[in-house]
Structure 1
Amino acid sequence: MEYFVHTLQKYPEIALFLTIGVGFWIGNLKLGKFNLGVVTSTLLAGLLIGQIGIKLPVALQSTFFAMFLFAVGYAVGPQFIRALRSDGLPQVIFSIIVCLAGTGTAIALGKLLGYNGALTAGLLSGGYTNSTVLGVATDLIQQSGLQQAQLQSALALLPIAYAVTYPFGTIGSAYLLANVAPKVFGFDLARECENYEREHGVGTPIGTTAYREYSARAFRLTNPMLIGKTVSDVETMFNREVFVRRMRLGDGMDVIDCKGDTVLMADSIVAVSGGLAPLLAYEEQFGPEVKDVPLLDFPTELLDLVVTNKAYAGKTLGEISDALFGEPGRGVFLTNVTRSDVLLPMRRETKIHRGDVLKILGARPDVAKIARTLGYADRPLEGSDMAFMAFGIVAGSLIGAITVHIGGVPLGLGTAVGAIVAGIICGYLRSTMRTFGHIPGPAIWVFNNVGLNGFIACVGLNAALGFVSGIQHYGITLFLAGTLVTIVPIIVGLLLGRYVFKFHPGIMLGACAGARSTTAALGSLQEVAKSNVPVIGYATGYAVSRLVMALLTIVVVNVF
């Protein structure tokens, strides 16, 4: 044990990874329906391991946090910007008011109980379950110019307040929103969400079902009406709803890739592709279906195609389809059209703009032909555009570092807020101009979770030695203050959502959870509702709260 302790003290990076590992392990364990969560577990692990005296550089802590904030902003940027410009505006205003209620409660309690800025920020972060507050407050305090002794004392109080108030912030908000609120307002959440889904067509997302809209089948050609005709003639007969892709003249013969002028031969086996409905409707007009794996074994691709060619910008979907989805794109199917990640109606009169994304499915060579004509093929990549991310963090942090003195008080966004704003802007740019800035979902998960929990581990390890005395001094009073910071904004949100904004019950509860960025509450709501409807409200609330709470943290620190 002495060797182990000495090694951790000599090589603090080992202690860092040990803390992260323990945090993820304990945080994912469940006792019934309850679990601590990775963030709280990592913080507690850091506070425990740090009792042996571990110190990590502040620059490492800030680096982890910048990664986390950029990833959060990148992920929610499209939703956030879109909500500001669309009918999501009431949800934006709602979320801001809920954030103000939580912040105001923390400030009032901090003044009443004689807390300083660090303790109040930790109270707000834990009671409101917003880890961004913890990071931004740490960043601001480190840049505040306090003397070393005062600085270390303040930085020790932040995780104390967070650790004491976070458990009820998570458990309490989940129980109040999912179990208490429906009873108080007298509605059946599951039934309300079921009715909403029926009225608005909110169903199971594509990708969780075994149904496939487009397919390819093999038929032995026996219909004399089709024998001797060209592929183009046959496809025209069937209203170009199905396409003859390949042909084998007999068992054991070579496979022929069909073109428009290819002539169909008697007793040949043909591979026909199309939507499931027309394939079923026309199958008897080709002949009996057969199993021919080599014939159907041709590469297909489902591709996101970004429209960048000016010649097609402003044209309707019908005009583009007529021009490209015959030759050179025989048998290529358009599955959906999106603009800034929003689905557009699949109608011939829908106008296509530069930056719109057409999702197309077909044989790989045919898909490639259309991609070369229309614009940029946005294929899934394992790599990330790290230059885009790094320069984004640099630009945002430089802007956030600008400080203006008003009445002798230094005011500035701080590098942390600059990083999250940069992430929001970069995420939105990526959604509208898909030719650059690609960061895959798994990479975002790593930047988000490793960034946040690496930061939390640094905070816990550095603050560990001052934690025990702090918890003895502030314990029960701090816990009760945290319950108020949890409950007051929930009550404000429920009253506003029900009687002022008049949201649908499922969306209202989801928006309350999102405005508090409480993922555990969303999970409880989905379980009780047996529906994904609460996610609709949660998405906007979560995006807004991440930015707004970062800005309000500046207010909290400056007030004290």
Structure 2
Amino acid sequence: MNKQSKLLQALSHPPKYMVSLFLGLIALASLFLGNAYASTIEAETYTGLASALSYLASNPFAYLFLTLAIGYPIGRITIGGISLGATAGTLVTGILIALASSALYGITYDIPGLVEDIFLMLFMYALGMRVGPQFFSGLARGGIDFIVIGLIVVVSNFLIVFFGVKLLDLGPGYAAGIISGSYTVTAVMGVAQSAVNSGAFHLPDGMTTDMVSANMAAGYAISYVLSSIFIILLVKYLPSMFGKDPVVEAQRAEQDYSGGEDGGALPGTAGASILGFTDKQIRSYLVEHKELAGKSVNQLFKINPHAAIVRVVRGDEVIEARDNPTLQLGDIVGVLGNYGLLLNGEDKVGQEVSEPRARMIDIEVADVHVGNSEFAGKTLEALGQEIGFGIHLKSMFRAGVAIPHLPKTIVEKGDVLRLAGPAWCIAQAAKSLKAVPIIESTYTEVSFMSIALFIGFLIGHASVEISGIPFALGASAGCMLMGILVSWLRTRNPEFGGPTSEGARAFLNDIGLSMFVAVLAAGVGPKIISSFQGTVVIWIAILGMLGALVPPFLAWIYGYYFRKMNPVVLAGACAGGRNSTPALNGIQDISRSGIAAVAYPVPYALTSAAVLILGYIAMVFS
């Protein structure tokens, strides 16, 4: 058997090889780090694997990036058509490293919470930037359904966990802990603890505050780990489980939420400046007809506005059409127009010739905002005859939605026109519209992003206390809303910053979520061992899984069968109702689209507040 066959055979048994990969990489890291860095450890001397794990604990930077380096390939391993994905792979890897460190050597990882907060806020801002242009149309189309889905998820989670704990007689504290863990909202632990400290919850005889807190911690740790992993898989594969192709459904949703007109990428989003396919061409002709001689380029455009002479070659001289030259017999002209129209060029101009200097003209795409009321109320046909020299209208947007761009379509102030043509032709048209052509660039706008994140933090950090329960949107949600607002403004006003580089946005998205999950795993991993006490852990695991997975499945049934919602959008709503950003990332990955996020913010915001109330109630009446 050759090496390639052996490799294929090995990859066909991923469970065993996933463990081998993990252990092998840890062993390799231990060998290297144990020898290279053992001298830097002052508190205790370790060797081998212990030395590696101790080094990672002392240097969170190394732990974080090693977790990502191992977690990403693990997430790509497919078993029976199912894969964890990068997020769940990173979470599992981080937990295993932290768990092994704690269980074997008593080593724990103390990573400042600021690291987790920063990366989470960066991710949420990037997510908002991606979904912002379609958010408000999504809210208008499915706002009530999104609210109902959120209520289904949060109420059914409470009922399953609260009465499950009562039925199993698990004791005070477990219900709040399992709700907190199964919902992956750590703040529930805070309000539940406040109920205990304030006296709203009356301690039964023989119980102490520490014992209740320990029960909460046990319920939280076990259910958090299990629900964090399996909710990603559930939401990610819900459309496929019901026989729907997530990629196809995402494409349908994108067209639906864009207004039904395929206008390409919305203004202010990635891809807005891609030329794509067009029947416009530039062909070169020898001026042979006498009736053309003595006429200027602009005069000829007025006669035939469907074709424009964009360059004139006269001997060794190359003349740009912006100078409005007058044609002479023997000139070679580059004519921009529809392919079908240019086929008749020899009849109207002269013989077609191969002259690269007349044809080799860069074509770019730019969004132009109609800011001149002089053109409001005119048709596109009339607008084209006045300022359409050398340009092609690819798309037209109104209030962030693509609309049909037909000859009789009326132009309104505030519309965004996507124009293609030579740079100077676009600039000329934009000047007439009193606008600046916006072209996508790689400018990352760190200052602008920082201001948005600052405001988002202030909005999310503002807290209102009702009956002793603090309510706040949360810094991460505030940053997401700012991302939505910024991209929404850019969609309607491309001069407000222009399109954001998708490469920069995608990097913030991926590194933000992955780092957040890695830090989270470092804190949760060691707590699992302390929670394993008899059969209680089994019941916690069962209730945590039921509380995490059944509610979004019930919401899916409502949206899929009763409301006939798009499966990918519905999956995004279920992820929002479950407060699981990694689950949203999972459905986005498998659908190759960000459209699922249009349904995420409404149920997310609703349940973020509702679960705190229900967690407080669960503690008081436990």
The TM-score by the shorter chain falls in which range? 0.7 to 0.9
Query: In the aligned structure 2, how far is the partner of 1:151 from the partner of 1:448?
Result: 35
Which of 599, 602, 608 is residue 541 of structure 1 equivalent to?
A: 599
Supply the AA of the counterpart residue of 2:423: R
1:19 maps to 2:67: yes
Secondary structure (helix, strand or coil) at the match of 1:380 reads coil
- Counterpart secondary structure, 1:376: coil
- Per the alignment, residue 111 of structure 1 pairs with 162
Query: Residue 152 and residue 273 in structure 1: after superposition, are their counterparts in 2 closer, same or farther (change >3 A)?
Result: farther
User: Helix, strand or coil: the match of 2:437?
Assistant: strand
1:95 aligns with 2:146: yes
1:320 & 1:7 partners in 2: Cα distance? 68
Q: Aligned partners of 1:387, 1:139: CA distance in 2, in Å? A: 34
Distance in 1 separating the partners of 2:401 and 2:222: 42
Matched residue, 1:389: 449
Which entry has the higher C-alpha Rg, 1 or 2?
A: 2
CA distance in 1 between counterparts of 2:195 and 2:131 reads 30
Q: Could you list the per-position Cα deviations for residues 46-104 of structure 1 after superposition, in whole angstroms to 9, with x for gaps in the alignment?
A: 212222422101122111112222222232233222333x4x1xx22222222222222
CA–CA distance in structure 2, aligned partners of residues 315 and 99 of structure 1: 45
Give the AA of the match of 2:240. Answer: A
Contact 2:223 2:540 survives alignment (8 Å): no
Q: Tell whether 2:263 aligns with 1:212.
A: no
In the TM superposition, what are the counterparts of 1:106-505 in structure 2 within 5 Å? Answer: 106-114=157-165, 115-125=174-184, 133=185, 158=220, 160-173=222-235, 175-180=237-242, 211-223=277-289, 225-227=291-293, 229-237=295-303, 239-250=304-315, 253-258=316-321, 262-282=325-345, 284-309=347-372, 312=375, 317=380, 320-325=383-388, 330-347=389-406, 348-354=408-414, 356-373=415-432, 374-437=434-497, 439-470=500-531, 474-475=537-538, 478-479=541-542, 481-483=544-546, 485-499=548-562, 501=563, 503=564
Letter in 2 for 1:68: F
* 2:83 counterpart SS class: coil
Partners of 1:414 and 1:511 in 2: CA distance: 24
Unmatched 5+ stretches in structure 2: 1-29, 39-51, 102-106, 166-173, 198-208, 266-270, 576-583
C-alpha separation in 2, matches of 1:444 and 1:278? 41
Q: What code does the residue aligned with 2:110 have?
A: K
Measure, in 2, the Cα distance between the counterparts of 1:393 and 1:521: 25
Q: Distance in 1 between matches of 2:229 and 2:501?
A: 32
Structure 1 SS opposite 2:566: helix
User: 2:566 maps to which residue?
Assistant: 508
On the 8 A contact 1:218/1:270 being kept in 2, the answer is: yes
State the distance in 2 between where 1:32 and 1:20 align.
24
| Offset of residue 515 of structure 1 | 1.3
Q: Compared with structure 1, are the counterparts of its residues 436 and 551 closer, same or farther at alpha carbon in structure 2 (3 Å cutoff)?
A: farther
Tell me, in whole angstroms, the C-alpha distance in 2 between the residues paired with 1:67 and 1:394. 11
Cα distance in 1, alignment partners of residues 409 and 382 from structure 2:
9
- SS, match of residue 436 in structure 2: strand
Give the whole-Å Cα distance in 2 for the aligned partners of 1:205 and 1:60.
Answer: 37
CA distance in 2, matches of 1:401, 1:175: 34
Alignment correspondent of 2:131: 76
What is the rounded CA distance, in whole Å, between the counterparts of 1:38 and 1:324 in structure 2?
A: 50
The alpha-carbon distance between structure 1 residues 259 and 431, as it changes in their structure 2 partners (threshold 3 A), is closer
Contact 1:230 1:263 in 2 (8 A): yes
Q: Deviations over 1:143-174 (max 9, x none)?
A: 99989999899678656424323454344455
Identity between Structure 1 and Structure 2 (%): 23
Residue 310 of structure 2 aligns with an amino acid whose one-letter code is R
Relative to structure 1, is the Cα distance of residues 360 and 49 closer, same or farther in structure 2, using a 3 angstrom cutoff?
same
Distance 2:73 2:189 in 1: 26
Distance 1:466 1:487, change over 3 A: closer
Deviation at 1:222, TM superposition (A): 4.0
CA distance in 2, matches of 1:177, 1:233: 58
**What is the Cα deviation at residue 273 of structure 1?**
0.5
Q: Distance in 2 between matches of 1:275 and 1:30?
A: 48
Gaps of 5+ in 1: 126-132, 183-188, 527-531
Counterpart of 1:33 in structure 2 is: 81
Q: Deviations over 1:188-232 (max 9, x none)?
A: x99xx89x99xx978796889973232211223444554554434
Contact 1:178/1:525, CA 8 A, preserved across alignment: no
SS at 1:378 equivalent: coil
Q: Distance in 2 between matches of 1:142 and 1:160?
A: 18
Give the drift of 1:385.
2.8
Alignment partner for residue 58 of structure 1, among 113, 129, 135? 113
Q: Could you say what secondary structure the match of 1:271 adopts?
A: strand
Q: Contact 1:177/1:521 (CA < 8 Å) preserved in 2? A: no
Tell me: CA distance 1:523–1:422, structure 2 relative to 1, closer, same or farther (3 Å).
Answer: closer
Closer, same or farther: CA 395–256 of 1 in aligned 2, 3 Å: closer
SS in 1 for 2:420: strand
Distance 1:400 1:205, change over 3 A: closer
Residues 171 and 39 (structure 1), Cα distance of their counterparts in 2 relative to 1, 3 Å cut: closer
Q: CA deviation at 1:458?
A: 0.9
Instruction: For residue 516 of structure 1, give the secondary structure of its aligned residue in structure 2.
Output: helix
Match of 1:9 in 2: 57
Taking structure 2 as the reference length, the TM-score comes to 0.71
Distance of 1:81 and 1:249 partners within structure 2: 54
Distance 2:351 2:482 in 1: 59
Partners of 1:169 and 1:483 within 8 A in 2: no
Q: Aligned match of 1:43 in 91, 95, 98? A: 91
Partner Cα distance (2:426, 2:261) in 1? 30
Q: How many residues align?
A: 518
Q: 1:219 touches 1:271 (CA, 8 Å); kept in 2?
A: yes
1:480 Cα shift? 6.4
Letter in 2 for 1:163: V
Q: Which residue identity is paired with 2:394? A: T
Aligned to 1:377, the other structure's residue is in SS state: coil
Could you give the per-residue CA deviations for residues 284-336 of structure 1, whole angstroms, max 9, x where no partner exists? 533443333233223332111233446556666456444433xxxx2122222
User: 3-state DSSP class of the match of 2:465?
Assistant: strand
CA contact (8 A) 1:95 1:511 kept: no
